Amino acid sequence: MLLNDIQNAVIQVQSDIALGPVVTHVTPAEVRNHLTSRYDFTKEVPLDEVIADVEGMLRKWQVHVTHPRYFGLFNPSVTVASVVADAIVAVYNPQLATWSTSPAANEIERHTLGWLGAKFGFPADAAATFTSGGAEANLSAVIVALTRAFPEYGEHGLAGLSAMPTFYVSGEAHHSFNKIAHMVGLGRRSLRTVSTDADLKLDLNNLTKQVAEDRRKGFAPFLVVGTAGTTGAGVIDPLPDLARHCRRENLWLHVDAAWGGAAIVSPTLRHHLDGIESADSITCDAHKWFSVPMGAGMFFCRHADAGAEAFRADTSYMPGKTPGPVADPYTSTVEWSRRFIGLKLFLSLAERGESGYAGMIDHQTRMGQVLRESLQRTGWRIVNNTPLPLVCFTRDGLDLDAFLAALYKHQIAWMSQVRLGGGAPVLRACITSFRTTEQDIRQVVEQMNQLL
């Protein structure tokens, strides 16, 4: 009965948000004064009253990323099933550090990840885990690749290596890799930025040149990152060419498909990910194009033994190793204690099925094309090239900051600005909601043009 109430409440909230404003207007002082005046934690407040107040704050003081006219970063509308899943997890609070304490939860995640891993072309014995997000998944990739390339790294750190490792990303890759280079001790200067071509794809000739030059200088290249759906422009790097290059040069290929990886379930889009099956590891976020609540990243690794070596742990206070070929998650992943992240994707997939998910993704892709065509017909210039529903655009003489301010003021939509390839800022609009309609898009473009 409680879960039925949750479903009904979610549907009502989604409807209310769709009919309301998409952008918030508030100052830090306004929010802080509200909290200070009500919650000094010296007295009890009835739970119903607190819940109503918090929900009111979220309704009033938030950019509504689940709104059909939120055309921003990769923050989706969420399925009702995934919200119910988060509630179930909170009630039972399973701990996924070990298999023996949460057999059902661990096996549900294993089953879900196995299904998606097979879609990517990974073998049945590949390793996979849910993560807090794409940054953790990318961190996992760098740690595992380092451990595989330099067996002494795990015990002796970088000081035990005879040469400084280097790895390679395009200028359009996610900036989490800068932080990761810092966190794993390589230092940010170990990260090489590869130039991009006219379509903002990683330039293979420049990659080849940089790897060869680093080796001549005594560095030790070990990893290349290809992106399937860049944050700025939705670009998919040349994955088949990268796979051949990495095999030839004995480099680990990691594909950051945090957003674009979901295209693998679409019969009309999956060919754009050709080559991903040759990757050594993949990042994909369920909380992006699979439309479930944050945080639900995923890390897939072709080499289960490399993950087991990178994250091995043994201590007396944890339950004994589970019999059989089952790795306790705390011994094969970055995290130790971990929430049951995977249920929200499992429940959504079970409810909608593969064809239902493909339909959601294809719908958003069609809406992206409607947006492109509507903009072009009314004088806007499209500046990116991608099959995914992310549109970067501009027009001559546009005051970008003033235009965005007016867009928000009039509650037309939420978009962002981005610099691509070092050029001038342009507008960036991504269809992130399966609830966005053709009417939404035509209305947004019409109202945008009235601002000019």
SS (H, E, C) the chain: CHHHHHHHHHHHHHHHHHHCCCCCCCCHHHHHHHHHHHCCCCCCCCHHHHHHHHHHHHHHCCCCCCCCCECCCCCCCCCHHHHHHHHHHHHHCCCCCCCCCCHHHHHHHHHHHHHHHHHCCCCCCCEEEEECCHHHHHHHHHHHHHHHHCCCHHHHCHHHCCCCEEEEEECCCCCHHHHHHHHCCCCHHHEEEECECCCCCECHHHHHHHHHHHHHCCCEEEEEEEEECCCCCCCECCHHHHHHHHHHHCCEEEEECCCHHHHHHCCCCHHHHCCHHHCCEEEEECCCCCCCCCCCEEEEECCHHHHHHHCCCCCCCCCCCCCCCCCCHHHCCCCCCCCCCCHHHHHHHHHHHHHHHHHHHHHHHHHHHHHHHHHHHCCCEECCCCCCCEEEEECCCCCHHHHHHHHHHCCCCECEEECCCCCCCEEEEECCCCCCCHHHHHHHHHHHHHCC
pLDDT of residue 149: 95
pLDDT of residue 248: 96
The highest-level CATH class for domain 355-450 is alpha beta
**Tokens 């992943």 map to which residue?**
333
pLDDT of residue 11: 80
Q: 15: pLDDT confidence band, cut at 50, 70 and 90?
A: confident
pLDDT of residue 316: 63
Could you report how far apart the first and last alpha carbons of the chain are, in Å?
A: 51
Residues 310-336: tens digit of each pLDDT: 788 777 666 766 666 567 877 788 888
pLDDT of residue 210: 98
Whether omega for the bond prior to residue 423 falls within 30 degrees of 0, making it cis, is no
pLDDT of residue 179: 95
pLDDT of residue 86: 94
Q: 100: pLDDT confidence band, cut at 50, 70 and 90?
A: confident
**194-221 mean pLDDT:** 97
Q: What is the mean pLDDT of the chain?
A: 93
pLDDT of residue 196: 96
Q: Work out the percent of the chain whose per-residue pLDDT is above 70.
A: 97
pLDDT of residue 307: 86
Q: Which amino acid is at 351?
A: E
pLDDT of residue 200: 96
Of 17-21, 116-120, 404-408, give the lowest mean pLDDT range.
Answer: 17-21
pLDDT of residue 2: 61
Decide if 87-346 and 355-450 have a common fold: no
Residue 1: pLDDT over 60:
no
pLDDT of residue 324: 60
The domain locations on the chain are 2-64, 87-346, 355-450
pLDDT of residue 253: 98
**Pair type for strands 426-430 and 390-394:** antiparallel
pLDDT of residue 93: 93
pLDDT of residue 209: 97
pLDDT of residue 188: 95
Residue 323, φ and ψ in degrees, nearest 5: -60, 150
**Pair type for strands 220-227 and 252-256:** parallel
Q: 47: pLDDT confidence band, cut at 50, 70 and 90?
A: very high
Query: Are 257 and 273 in contact, with CB atoms under 8 Å apart?
Result: yes
pLDDT of residue 386: 97
pLDDT of residue 318: 66
pLDDT of residue 421: 87
pLDDT of residue 320: 65
Residue 199: pLDDT over 60:
yes
Of 89-103, 109-123, 249-263, 278-292, give the lowest mean pLDDT range.
Answer: 89-103
pLDDT of residue 21: 87
**168-180 mean pLDDT:** 95
**111-115 mean pLDDT:** 96
Please state which CATH number belongs to domain 87-346. Answer: 3.40.640.10
